[in-house]
Each structure stands twice: as structure tokens, then as C-alpha cells.
Amino acid sequence: MAMFGIGNLASARVSARLGPRGTLLSGLALATLGSAALIGIEALPYTALAIAVGIANFGAGQAIPAMNLVVMQSAGLADANLAAASLNASRQIGSLVGVAIASVVLHGIADPDRATAAGFAVIAAVYLAGFAIVFRRIDPG
């Protein structure tokens, strides 16, 4: 969990070097790779498990401030209040949907090892979809 906070703190430096789009892409790529590595969780030694979780959390922690920056910059000063409210509502809805999907996946598979692996596969797929959306929709300029 500490890696999430470290990713948050690193986000500003990465953003200064790569810009918000690059920070989002690199954070989502790390989160995808870390989550994908966790698909094989039952076979991972503890050290590899800790590294994969750390990479995933660092990537997510790095991406979130950049996402906030992109949303707020794209809204502009005139619509900043609306953008902030929409961003907060989107996060709340995303959390609810995420918990619902996790519940379905974990409840739908009887074997706990397979259920956990399937859960991480879903997480990796969602991060990968986020990466694709940012890559296609956020202007590199």
C-alpha cells in the first residue's frame, strides 16, 4: 500500500518530464503489468507477489493525480466546479461498479485460487482498457 502513496508523490515529477498523458500511460502500463503478473498468484513466491503488488500500486498511484490534472485542465476555469463534481461522482460510481464486479467474479468461481486469479485478470483488463482510451483519446500535445 505504501507504493500507492509513493506513486502519488512521484506523479508530479513524472508529469513534469512526460506530461499528464505520458504519466497516465506509464502509470496505467505499470498497473496493468503488475495486475497481470498477479494472475498467477497461486504459483508466485512471496517476494514476486510483493513486487507485483508494489508495481501495480505504484502505477495506479502515479496515474490518479495525472487523471485529475487532465480532467481539470480540459474543463477550464469556467467549468472547474462541474468537472470536480463529475470527477468525484465518477470515482464513486467506479468504486461501486468495481466492488460489484469483484463480488460476481469471486462468488462465481468456487476455487479461491482461480477466483483470485480471475479477479486480477479483470483488473488487468480494465487497466489495459484505460491505457487504450488514454492512448487514443488524450491529445499528446
Half-sphere exposure of 15 (CA within 13 A, CB side): 18
* Segment 54-96, tens digit of pLDDT: 999 999 999 999 999 888 888 888 999 999 999 999 989 999 9
| 106 vs 110: CA distance, rounded Å | 8
Q: Mean of the pLDDT values across residues 120-140?
A: 94
In this prediction, residue 43 has a pLDDT band, given cuts at 50, 70 and 90, of confident
What is the total residue count of the chain? Answer: 141
Give me the CATH number covering residue 80. 1.20.1250.20
Question: What is the number of other CB atoms lying within 10 angstroms of the CB of residue 104?
Answer: 12
Per the structure, the complete domain to which residue 35 belongs is given by: 2-137
Q: Are 91 and 68 in contact (CB under 8 A)?
A: no
Domains held by the chain: number:
1
| 113 vs 18: CA distance, rounded Å | 38
Instruction: Give the pTM.
Output: 0.89
105: which residues sit within 8 A by CB, 6+ positions away? 115, 118, 119, 122
